[in-house]
Structure 1
Amino acid sequence: MVKRNVRLWLCLLLVMLDGVALFVGFGAGVRISPLPGLSGDIAASLAAGATVFAIIAFHSQAYAASCLTSAAISCRTVTLALGGTMLLFFLVVFALKAIDVVPRSAVLAGLASSLGLLLVQRSLVAHAVRRRFGSQLLAEILIVDGCALPNDCGNAAVIDACHIGLRPEEDDPFKLHQLGMLLRDYDRAIVLCPAARRASWAQILKGSNVQGEVVVPEVGETMPLAVGGWLGSPTLVVARGPLNLADRASKRLLDIALTVPLLIALLPLLLLVAIAIKFDSAGPIFFRQQRIGRGNRLFRIYKFRSMHADRGDAVGSRSTGRSDDRVTRIGRLIRRTSIDELPQLFNVLLGEMSLVGPRPHALGSTAEDAYFWQVDRQYWHRHALKPGITGLAQIRGFRGATETRADILRRIESDLEYLHGWSLARDVGILLRTFNVLVHQKAF
Structure 2
Amino acid sequence: MPLMPSLQRHRVQCYLALMLADITALFCGFGLVGYVQGGLAGGQNALLFAQLLLPVYLTVALYDDVYSLDSLRRANRGAVRAVLSLTIAVAVVFFIIFYAAIEQKFSRYIVTAGGATTVALLVALRLTVLQALVSWRCGASVVNELVIDDGGPALSLPGSYHVSASAFGLVPSLTDPNAMDRIGMVLRNADRVIVSSPPERRADWAMVLRGANVAGEVIDDAVSAMMATGARIAEGHGLLLVSEGPLGMRARLVKRLLDITVAGLALIALAPLLLVVAAMIKLEDGGPVFFRQRRVGRSNRYFAMYKFRSMRENKAGRNGSVLTAKNDSRITRIGKFIRATSIDELPQLLNVLSGDMSIVGPRPHATGALAGDKLYWEVDARYWQRHALRPGLTGLAQVRGYRGTTDHEEDLALRLQADLEYLSGWSLWRDIWIMLATVKVLVHSNAY
**Distance (whole Å) between structure 2 residues aligned to residue 421 and residue 394 of structure 1:** 17
Residues 220, 356 of structure 1: CA spacing in aligned structure 2 closer, same or farther, 3 A cutoff?
Answer: closer
Kindly provide the CA deviation profile for residues 42-73 of structure 1, in whole angstroms up to 9, marking residues without a partner as x: xxxxxxxxxxxxxxxxxxxxxxxxxxxxxxxx
1:310 positional shift: 2.2
Residues 441, 233 of structure 1: CA spacing in aligned structure 2 closer, same or farther, 3 A cutoff?
Answer: same
Matched-pair contact (CA < 8 Å) for 1:282–1:309: no
The CA RMSD measured in Å over matched residues stands at 2.1
Is 1:281–2:285 an aligned residue pair?
A: yes
Kindly provide the CA deviation profile for residues 263-282 of structure 1, in whole angstroms up to 9, marking residues without a partner as x: 01111111000000001123
Q: Which amino acid aligns with 1:251?
A: K
Residue 240 of structure 2 aligns to a residue whose secondary structure is strand
Kindly provide the CA deviation profile for residues 240-290 of structure 1, in whole angstroms up to 9, marking residues without a partner as x: 000000000000011111111110111111100000000112321100000
What is the aligned partner in structure 1 of residue 265 from structure 2?
261
Q: How does 1:340-355 map to 2 (within 5 A)?
A: 340-355=344-359
Q: Which amino acid aligns with 2:364?
A: P
Residue 350 of structure 2 aligns to a residue whose secondary structure is helix
**Distance (whole Å) between structure 2 residues aligned to residue 270 and residue 443 of structure 1:** 19
Match of residue 412, structure 1, among 412, 416, 427: 416
**Distance (whole Å) between structure 2 residues aligned to residue 229 and residue 242 of structure 1:** 23
326-335 or 310-319: bigger deviation: 310-319
Kindly provide the CA deviation profile for residues 335-386 of structure 1, in whole angstroms up to 9, marking residues without a partner as x: 0000000000000000000000000000100011100000000000000011
**Distance (whole Å) between structure 2 residues aligned to residue 367 and residue 221 of structure 1:** 24
Is 1:392–2:400 an aligned residue pair?
A: no
Q: How does 1:127-166 map to 2 (within 5 A)?
A: none
Q: Which amino acid aligns with 1:268?
A: P
Q: Which amino acid aligns with 1:401?
A: T
What is the aligned partner in structure 1 of residue 251 from structure 2?
247
Match of residue 383, structure 1, among 380, 387, 392: 387
**Distance (whole Å) between structure 2 residues aligned to residue 394 and residue 356 of structure 1:** 10
Residue 311 of structure 1 aligns to a residue whose secondary structure is coil
Residue 447 of structure 2 aligns to a residue whose secondary structure is coil
Is 1:270–2:274 an aligned residue pair?
A: yes
What is the aligned partner in structure 2 of residue 146 from structure 1?
none
Greater relative contact order structure (CA < 8 Å, 6+ sep): 1
**Distance (whole Å) between structure 2 residues aligned to residue 220 and residue 312 of structure 1:** 41
What is the aligned partner in structure 2 of residue 403 from structure 1?
407
Is 1:366–2:397 an aligned residue pair?
A: no
Residue 330 of structure 2 aligns to a residue whose secondary structure is coil
**Distance (whole Å) between structure 2 residues aligned to residue 431 and residue 236 of structure 1:** 37
Q: Which amino acid aligns with 2:377?
A: W
**Distance (whole Å) between structure 2 residues aligned to residue 253 and residue 309 of structure 1:** 36
1:230 positional shift: 2.8
What is the aligned partner in structure 2 of residue 299 from structure 1?
303
**Distance (whole Å) between structure 2 residues aligned to residue 231 and residue 288 of structure 1:** 48
Matched-pair contact (CA < 8 Å) for 1:367–1:402: yes
1:327 positional shift: 0.3
What is the aligned-residue identity percentage?
53
What is the aligned partner in structure 2 of residue 429 from structure 1?
433
Unmatched runs of 5 consecutive residues or more in structure 2? 1-83, 92-219
Count the aligned residue pairs. Answer: 233
What is the aligned partner in structure 2 of residue 328 from structure 1?
332
Kindly provide the CA deviation profile for residues 210-258 of structure 1, in whole angstroms up to 9, marking residues without a partner as x: xxxxxx9x75731211112333311111100000000000000111111
Kindly provide the CA deviation profile for residues 316-344 of structure 1, in whole angstroms up to 9, marking residues without a partner as x: 00110111000000000000000000000
**Distance (whole Å) between structure 2 residues aligned to residue 396 and residue 270 of structure 1:** 27
What is the aligned partner in structure 1 of residue 443 from structure 2?
439
Q: Which amino acid aligns with 1:361?
A: H
Kindly provide the CA deviation profile for residues 73-130 of structure 1, in whole angstroms up to 9, marking residues without a partner as x: xxxxxxx9xx99xx9xxxxxxxxxxxxxxxxxxxxxxxxxxxxxxxxxxxxxxxxxxx
Q: Which amino acid aligns with 2:416?
A: I
Q: Which amino acid aligns with 1:373?
A: W
Kindly provide the CA deviation profile for residues 403-435 of structure 1, in whole angstroms up to 9, marking residues without a partner as x: 100000000000000000000000000000000
421-430 or 227-236: bigger deviation: 227-236
1:399 positional shift: 0.6
Match of residue 225, structure 2, among 216, 221, 228: 221
Residues 301, 221 of structure 1: CA spacing in aligned structure 2 closer, same or farther, 3 A cutoff?
Answer: same
What is the aligned partner in structure 2 of residue 311 from structure 1?
315
What is the aligned partner in structure 2 of residue 200 from structure 1?
none
TM-score w.r.t. structure 2 length? 0.50
TM-score w.r.t. structure 1 length? 0.51
Q: Which amino acid aligns with 2:427?
A: S
**Distance (whole Å) between structure 2 residues aligned to residue 286 and residue 221 of structure 1:** 43
Residue 309 of structure 1 aligns to a residue whose secondary structure is coil
What is the aligned partner in structure 2 of residue 234 from structure 1?
238
**Distance (whole Å) between structure 2 residues aligned to residue 296 and residue 229 of structure 1:** 29
Residues 232, 255 of structure 1: CA spacing in aligned structure 2 closer, same or farther, 3 A cutoff?
Answer: same
**Distance (whole Å) between structure 2 residues aligned to residue 437 and residue 407 of structure 1:** 17
Q: Which amino acid aligns with 1:237?
A: L
What is the aligned partner in structure 2 of residue 141 from structure 1?
none
Residue 319 of structure 1 aligns to a residue whose secondary structure is coil
Residues 313, 347 of structure 1: CA spacing in aligned structure 2 closer, same or farther, 3 A cutoff?
Answer: same
**Distance (whole Å) between structure 1 residues aligned to residue 404 and residue 283 of structure 2:** 27
* Bigger CA radius of gyration: 2
Matched-pair contact (CA < 8 Å) for 1:282–1:308: no
Unmatched runs of 5 consecutive residues or more in structure 1? 1-79, 88-215
